[in-house]
Amino acid sequence: MREWWVQVGLLSVPLLAVYLHIPPPKLSPALLSWRSSGGYFTYKDQNIFYRDSTGAVGSSDVVILLHGFPTSSYDWCKIWEGLTQRFHRVIALDFVGFGFSDKPRPHRYSIFEQASIVEGLVRHLGLRHQRINLLSHDYGDTVAQELLHRSLQPLMLWLLFAVGGRHSLHLGLIAQADIAPRAVSRLCSTRRHRLLRNNRFLFSILQYINQRKKHRDRWVGALMSTSVPLHLIYGPLDPVNPHPEFLQLYRKVLPMSTVSVLDDHISHYPQLEDPTGFLNAYLNFINSF
């Protein structure tokens, strides 16, 4: 009798072939509206989608929103209007490989490239000398950490206020610090085996997990060394960063960071699960300066 995994493999081949030829689903009216209200800029021949809304009159503050895996800038839809009431410019992009941005194949996706794309967008919008507030979540947390590292160099002329959704800048920190190795392993296994089996395109994006481990000192070190204010917005039901172990480690590693803990039922996507609580926590932090 053949091994079970051989049988599963033989069955998965035709199923995968069918899957890869299924046309993408039609966009909902909400997504169509989101896309039509944005635009594109070019980074190394790749078309990158972004949204840029002008908001509060009399304010010069700018916030850039960095989304997580495996989603897009639409993650911020429920707090977008609230942010425009506080910031002069509210900007979000879809990282290359995500959302409405190009998805080149084959391609070596990396956190370093995504950070350079954010810098490219800043230059494209003429904001290089502007103070930038970063609001990041999940995958975007590590991009924010790389940007924070670069801001420590003398050639960087713009300042970051790094804040995060769900577990702030630290899904990367958690994976790197091994506070929840089993949870991270389960997450990787679930994503790879249920969603990404034999799909080299998405598997290449998942290499950010290995990049986090490899560049732990660079990215965690940036957080520990910066004088930029940091704030964590945390959902206690987060399955990847379990409560209370995560908060204990976070406060130990980054005692200078402030923290907002949302209601007990808030989990992976606080900006969607509790947009009012999330927005209030973020604005309270920003307005404290």
Q: What percent of the chain has pLDDT over 70?
A: 76
Q: pLDDT tens across 234-250, in order?
A: 999 998 888 999 999 99
At residue 8 the predicted structure's pLDDT band, cuts being 50, 70 and 90, is low
Closest CA to 226 of 111, 147, 130: 147
Distance CA 75, CA 271 (A): 7
**152 vs 138, higher pLDDT:** 138
Hey, where are the domains in the chain? Answer: 40-163+193-287
Closest CA to 114 of 134, 129, 130: 134
The class that CATH gives domain 40-163+193-287 is alpha beta
Q: pLDDT tens across 101-133, in order?
A: 999 988 999 999 999 999 999 999 999 888 889
> Which of 136-150, 175-189, 191-205 is predicted most confidently?
136-150
On whether the pTM is more than 0.85, the answer is no
| Backbone angles phi and psi of 281, in degrees to 5 | -65, -45
Q: pLDDT tens across 262-279, in order?
A: 999 999 899 999 999 999
At residue 23 the predicted structure's pLDDT band, cuts being 50, 70 and 90, is confident
Q: Is 145 helix (H, G, I), strand (E, B) or coil?
A: helix
Q: Which of 8-22, 69-83, 108-122, 233-247 has the lowest mean pLDDT?
A: 8-22
Mean pLDDT of the chain: 81
| Backbone angles phi and psi of 68, in degrees to 5 | -105, -170
Q: Which of 20-24, 31-35, 157-161 has the lowest mean pLDDT?
A: 157-161
CA dihedral 223→147→138→199, nearest 10 degrees, is: -130
Pairing type for strands 230-234 and 89-93 reads unpaired
